[in-house]
Structures are given as structure tokens and as C-alpha cells.
Structure 1
């Protein structure tokens, strides 16, 4: 169940005379221009080119952002216009204030003759509420588009105070989106409705109607319609309508006819969303209601290989986390289309899978061949629908069940990529450690000590302190293959953050407490480096004089 926001009513006078003086309509957002709608529907995740330099494990995770990418295609804008008209037309005959309803009628029908000899006369106005169906292939973006459009409207509007001088204190439920239950039962859908309403508005309709098993579906349906009317429901959206089962609790025919009654009698628009498998179900009274309303059903098929497809793929391709950038060539563009047949969900998942396949490899280039391999390995369930789309076989599309790659399959593929990158990264680390160990094994201890002490000298510490701290740090990290931890430890000891090793003292002001020992070659070199800092000799020459830096001739071998 999709849940939205709750807002306090803010009334904007309607520009359309037919909608004036209706608080349900004037509490809705104003009709928006297409440019603004596109801007509000667009969802572009964050991305920076510098992220290509991140570790492979982090880039694998970043690829998942592509799943949140939403580009409002032209059909999105058409859908928004339909919902905007549908909500206002549905609310038009349902003014919650009787006196304002009279004003609304006079505004909408200025030439209407009200003189019928009765002071309380109200003319009968036919409802123009419109429902429609959205039918299309799995993965083309139906649900994403519907939920994106619904998100433009607050789900609940709280009317508190006065409207036109009349007290108005009530909740307006602008929209409600449900999914057909998995078993396709009519009773299950009714109970889902009551549970959803309770969760959103804080009522207890399920306790009142759902707990009594003696209530039949024929009794629940009118209660459901009554609740929708009481709460001022603007539109009811039922997704996955293909699940409705003719054999379950009265089946599809009864439910679809009931939807028709909601449109005709209660002016509550109903939008049904499903795959081509639902086509045989969309008949009866609900079909008649849709035809008479003039909205027309929306058939949402795969994208053709045209400018819209190119626009979409160019936007998605921007989100690339491979080390080497792969440009979007005509051959890659064509490979993506052939393997997805213009189903945007499959195209996006293919692009994600292709990046997961190469990130962490020596060559992180995406090729048409790679896209084909990934499609064959990971999208086997989608083959029937892709073949049906290639052949434009609507009958086959009606027989095929929902075959979109489940999230669990994508997560399993990502887990495999993570394990591969982790294994390769661990192996690289072990190889680097082995090389470091081999290199350090050939170094003289004094040479390592000198390198650590030199850092402390450059930081301005005295010679004795630099030598002693370096020596202590080296003992503490005898098994360390990298110099960085040893240098860090020595610096901490020098500044007094880390205490000296037991039995050692490090206070240069207390002279005479150190045993006088003969200076080693390292100590001599350090002393000479102090002189080098004063300009007497260079540090390199000081190390050479102390015998730490050997002449290159010593490493020559006679052949």
C-alpha cells in the first residue's frame, strides 16, 4: 500500500467556473503547466565523476542508485493530465457544503432556470466522474508513473475552520492505491480497503466490518462505497488487476461491476492498472462507465526505438561507475534495445547488471557482447515476453504471467559481484604484503631505523629523542610490513601521547642520567643531519658519510 502526506487545507479560488465554491476542489493544488509537472516528477539520483576512483566495493553499491532513476516521459505527462481532470470532475458533484453547492451550480450553469415554484429546488446534474484502465507490459513503468503522479497530491487534506462562512471540519482522502490480493478474491480486496483506510485516517472500519465473517461480499461492497463517499475519496487506484479471479468469491465480474457503480452512483473515479492478461476482465458495467465518461483506456506498451527511447537511455547512461568510461555508441544503444525490447525496467536492470559484471575486473569496459551475455544469464524468465513483443503477439502477451526479474535475483547477482571483488581485493592485498615483506627482508635494520628517525628530525625533535622513539616504535611493530604505522607510533611517542617503553626515559633536559655509550653509525648520521639542516652538508651526504647509503658499485656483480 502506498502512503502519502497529510496537509492542512489551503483554498485557492478555481479559475474554472464549474469548480468554484467547492472546498474539495479548491483545496487541491492548482492545475500545473507541463514544464512544472515534468520538473516535479523527475528523480535523478546524485552522481559525481570522481566516484569512479572509489574502491570497487563502494562502486558496486553505488550502481544501485540507478534503480531510483525516474525520467518523466511524454506518457507520464498525459497520465498527470488525466488524473488532474479526473479528480476535479469526480469532486464536482460532491460539494460537502449544501449552500456552497448551490453557488457552485449557479457559477457553472449561469443560464439555468431555478424558478420551479419551490424554494428548496436543486437541479439534477449528471456526474462526470471518469474511471479508466491502464494496461501494459510488465516493467514499462505503469506503477512508477501512477505513484509519481499521486505523489503530486497530498493523500489527506484536513479541513478545519470555515469555508465561505460555513463551518467545515473533516478529512478529505484524496487518493487511495491498493493492490489486488494474491488470491484474487473479492473479499480480500474489500478487507484490504478497510485496513488501508484505518491505517491512513486512524479509523476502525476493519474492526467494524472485517471481523464479522458472516458478512458476505455483497454486504461489504456497499459499506466500502459508503466509506469512500464519507471520506471524500478522490480516486481509488487498484494495481495488479490481472490477479482478479473469476472463481474466487464471486470473481472479477462482480468486482468490476461494483467499480462501475462507484463511478456512476458515488462519483468516485476508479483506475485499474494491470498487464495484458487483464484485458478479458475489463468488460461489463465498468467498461460502459469508462466509455461514457470519454476518458478512454491507456494502453502502455514498450517504447519503440525512436527519439523517446534515445532520450531515456542517454539519461540513464550518465550513471556509470566503471573505472574507464564507456561511451554510448549506436551499437550499444541497439544492443540494449534488442535485449530489452524497449521495456524500461529491463533496460535499467541490464545496465546495472553489466556494471556489476565488470567492476573490479582488469578491464571495466561495457560492450554490446557483455550486454548480450548478461541478458542471457540473468533475464531468462523475460524471454517469452520479449519474443512476444518482437512478434507483436498480443494473444501471447495476454497468456504470459508477470515475468519481470524479481528483486531477489538482482540481489543475488550483486552478492556474487561483491564476493568476487572482495576475493580479488584480498588476494591483491596479500600479494602486496608479500612483496613488502620481501623488500623489507633485504633492508638493514639501521636503514629502517634511519628512515623513521629522519621523519622525527624533520619535525624538529632532538637527535636523541628521534633515535629513541624510532627504536621503540620499531620494536613495537617488529612484524609490520608497512612503514606508516611505525612512523605514526614514533611520532606519538615523541610528542608524549604514547608513554615510553618500560625501563626507558626520555627527558633531554635531565642530562647525566643516560649511560654514555659509543654512538652507532645511525646516531652519527643523525648528528650529521642536524649539521646538514644548518647548511654544513646535505642530508643525503650525511647519510652517505655515515655509511647508511652505499655506493652503487657495491651492487654490481662481476660476470
Structure 2
């Protein structure tokens, strides 16, 4: 998109075209409208048997926004703005020259960008970290084209974000190439071709320098490194993670680019092992949904997408069974709901039941974790829409009424010993009935269960 400049309070008195070209941050309501995806539910009774199995693929396109997604969107958006707040246009040009010439002294004399943001988003596999981040980033224009700022010509591309995957071999070369290719995809350049015209790839240090210069040249606001736990797996074998982490730290410092790491909780071991990484990798630690109204609302959004001849009722027994078997992990919930219908259609069963759900879990070999490290459950996030001017009291009341109410946990299978039957004169029965001491004593004495001295 072409740059449209609007005054930004963060820029202060110094002109900052890159910060002023940033779009407005979306409200929670606007973000959820863009993120939500709910194709029309099927009328399975009208479908041919051959079309029911094919129609199940629509379930993979259903996307239910949750409050934690608004937190991720706000975090990434603010990280981009912190990059453009920390660097001015003239400083960026000076940094390019200093890095290109390898002049460490000149680079050290430039203003230090202390406000660029770095952090991490770690979570249990299957809760939707990567898909949520990609959807949130797509709500922000990736490339903003500048041509004129005020009375001055300004020809450049501003790349607000890049998302790349941490290489499995923990190689600086591979990660640098991934970043260069991501820039090519974003702006349509051909920097990657320079590496293919030579007999062998440049050294890791040369590629690292190119990445820093490209990030400054195209004003990259944020780089998201996905699957950062790959660095842990490689480090445990050949201890190569230090070079990769050093490159990322230098990239953040010298190119003034915010960096966020995304992965599983196993990456926490690497972050805590390096003192300089602890403050750079703070951020969200995500756990699955609790068995509450948020989970119930999530499953309720999926429930209409049933392709069996008859639709199963949304009962507490089935709802709690799905939670017990999935552990509240969204990817498991969707997969179980999908596979259970596959089993029903193949067996010619009219509707879903508990046996089909259990069989689906057995077919998929799903074993939900029982314990987790420290973190925040997806159900515990609560984000209020701060756009007070556009929301009336009536609208606020309506939105509050639509929020899923917390529900009491009802296990699908009764657990523990059956409750013993007690006599009406039993002390525990009297205590449970709320009898005062005098009345309880009189009843016990009358029944011959109390001796008074």
C-alpha cells in the first residue's frame, strides 16, 4: 500500500515518516471481525452420502477468535512501532554505511536504539500460536511504499514485518538466507539471486552483514522467528545455538529491528541458560483452555459443522468427554471432532456418540498432557475494547450478555467411589444439614447416640 501519513504522538517533534505511515491499531471488535471465519454450516440431511465426507474439509477453515489473540496482535503491533520510534531516517543511513564498511567505532558512536522490542511467545503445541500470529500479522500491511514526505522526495519500501522459520540445523547461513528470501517475497526483489550466481555461498558473516543492511535499507519493523525450539534440539547435539543467538542479538542491536521468538516451552531452557537472553525473551507463555465457558463456547462454534445424517445434541457428557480426551488443546479438539465424523460416516452411523469420539482419539493416537509448566491458560485472557466513543451502553450490555458464562465441570464419566448412604441421625448428615450444636445434641441424645455426664 502507498504511505498515508498521519500525526503520531510517539514521533515527537522529529519528523518520522515510517512511524507516521503506520496504520491505526485495530480495536478488539474490528480485529475479531477480520479474524473470524465461519462458512455456512451444512444441511447434512440434504447432502448425498458421497458429499458428506468431502464436505468435512470445511471444518479446517473454521476459525474462532479468542481474547488471547487480541493480546498477541497488540504485542506485535507495538513491537513494530517501537522499531520506528527508536530509529530516525538519517540514523538508518549512517548505520548502513557503518555496517557495510565494518566500522565498529562509527557504529558505536551512533545513537543507541534502546526502545526496540524483543520478546517471545511460547506455548503448548497445538494451541494455534503460529496460525494466530500469521493471521494477526496479515491485518497489518506488510509493505508501505513511500514516494514523497512533505516537500521532500522519499523513495523506499517500508517492510513492517517478516516471519521466518528457525532452521533445523541452527545455522546462521540458513536463517540469513531465509530472511533474505522473505524480503524478496515481500517487496518482489531478487536479493537471493546474488547468492546463486557464485560457485559457493558467502560466509556466514557476509550473509549476516547483508541481512543487517537489508533490514536497515527496507526499514524492517519486526522479524518473527518461528519454531525457535529447533535451536534447542540442535544445541543438545552439537552446541551450535550460540552463533545463531549471537546473530539475532546483533541484528536487533545494529539494525534496530524488533525480534520475537515463537515456539514450544522447550525453548525456555535456552532462554534461561543465557543471561543476556532473559530480558530479551520475556513474553507470553500459553497453556490450553480450561474446562469452562470459553472452552464450551469454542466447541459450540464447531458443533453446527456435522455432516452425519442426524446432528448430535450439545450435551454436557459429550462436551466434557471431548475436553477430557483433548486436554483443551484447540488443534486436538478440531481433529477429534473431524475424525469422529469420519468414523461415523464410514460405519454408517446416524450421529456422533461417545464411542465414536473415543475411537477417533484411539485412531489419532492423541494423548493430552496432564501437567504443564508455568503459563497462562487461554481461558484466563480478558481484553476489553477501549474504543469508548463507538460503543454505547446498550452495545456493551449486549456484548457482555453474549459472553459465554462459566459452567460447572461435569465429568462425562463418574469418578471416585459412589457416595455412601448414611443414617439421618449420622453426625455427618446432621452437620451437612446445617443443624446448630444444641439441636444436633438433642437429636443424638434422643437416638441414644450421645451420653450426658
Partner of 2:146: 159
Q: Does 1:79 align with 2:65?
A: no
Shift of 1:124: 4.7
- Relative contact order (alpha carbons < 8 A, sep ≥ 6): 1 or 2 greater? 2
2:164 match: secondary structure: strand
Q: Which residue, out of 200, 214, 229, partners 2:216?
A: 229
Alpha-carbon separation, structure 2, partners of 1:126 and 1:191: 25
2:235 match: secondary structure: coil
Alpha-carbon separation, structure 2, partners of 1:168 and 1:249: 47
* Unpaired segments ≥5 residues, structure 1: 1-6, 100-121, 395-559
Alpha-carbon separation, structure 2, partners of 1:22 and 1:257: 30
Classify 1:317/1:246 alpha carbon distance in 2 versus 1 (closer, same or farther; 3 Å): same
Deviations 1:510-556 (A, max 9, x none): xxxxxxxxxxxxxxxxxxxxxxxxxxxxxxxxxxxxxxxxxxxxxxx
Alpha-carbon separation, structure 2, partners of 1:279 and 1:349: 28
Deviations 1:447-485 (A, max 9, x none): xxxxxxxxxxxxxxxxxxxxxxxxxxxxxxxxxxxxxxx
Shift of 1:30: 0.4
Partner of 2:442: none
The TM-score with structure 1 as length reference comes to: 0.59
Alpha-carbon separation, structure 2, partners of 1:227 and 1:250: 28
Classify 1:310/1:250 alpha carbon distance in 2 versus 1 (closer, same or farther; 3 Å): same
Worse overlay, 280-289 or 216-225: 280-289
Alpha-carbon separation, structure 2, partners of 1:59 and 1:214: 51
Partner of 2:251: 262
RMSD: 2.7
Q: Does 1:391 align with 2:391?
A: no
Contact 1:184-1:248 within 8 A present in 2 as well:
no
Partner of 2:24: 30
1:290 match: secondary structure: coil
Alpha-carbon separation, structure 1, partners of 2:125 and 2:27: 29
Contact 2:10-2:85 within 8 A present in 1 as well:
no
Alpha-carbon separation, structure 1, partners of 2:250 and 2:266: 23
Partner of 1:548: none
Q: Does 1:330 align with 2:316?
A: yes
Alpha-carbon separation, structure 2, partners of 1:130 and 1:199: 24
Structure number with bigger Rg: 1
Alpha-carbon separation, structure 1, partners of 2:371 and 2:113: 44
Partner of 2:269: 280
Q: Which residue, out of 57, 71, 77, partners 2:50?
A: 57
Contact 2:122-2:263 within 8 A present in 1 as well:
yes
Shift of 1:197: 2.1
Shift of 1:376: 0.9
Partner of 2:81: 88
Alpha-carbon separation, structure 1, partners of 2:217 and 2:194: 15
Classify 1:124/1:200 alpha carbon distance in 2 versus 1 (closer, same or farther; 3 Å): closer
Alpha-carbon separation, structure 2, partners of 1:147 and 1:336: 27
Contact 2:44-2:310 within 8 A present in 1 as well:
no
Alpha-carbon separation, structure 2, partners of 1:125 and 1:190: 23
Contact 2:326-2:332 within 8 A present in 1 as well:
yes
Contact 1:138-1:275 within 8 A present in 2 as well:
yes
| Corresponding pairs, count | 354
The TM-score with structure 2 as length reference comes to: 0.72
Partner of 1:307: 293
Classify 1:98/1:179 alpha carbon distance in 2 versus 1 (closer, same or farther; 3 Å): closer
Shift of 1:205: 2.3
Runs of at least 4 residues off by over 6 Å: 247-250
Q: Does 1:133 align with 2:123?
A: no
Contact 1:240-1:273 within 8 A present in 2 as well:
yes
Partner of 1:201: 187
Partner of 2:335: 349
Classify 1:97/1:45 alpha carbon distance in 2 versus 1 (closer, same or farther; 3 Å): farther
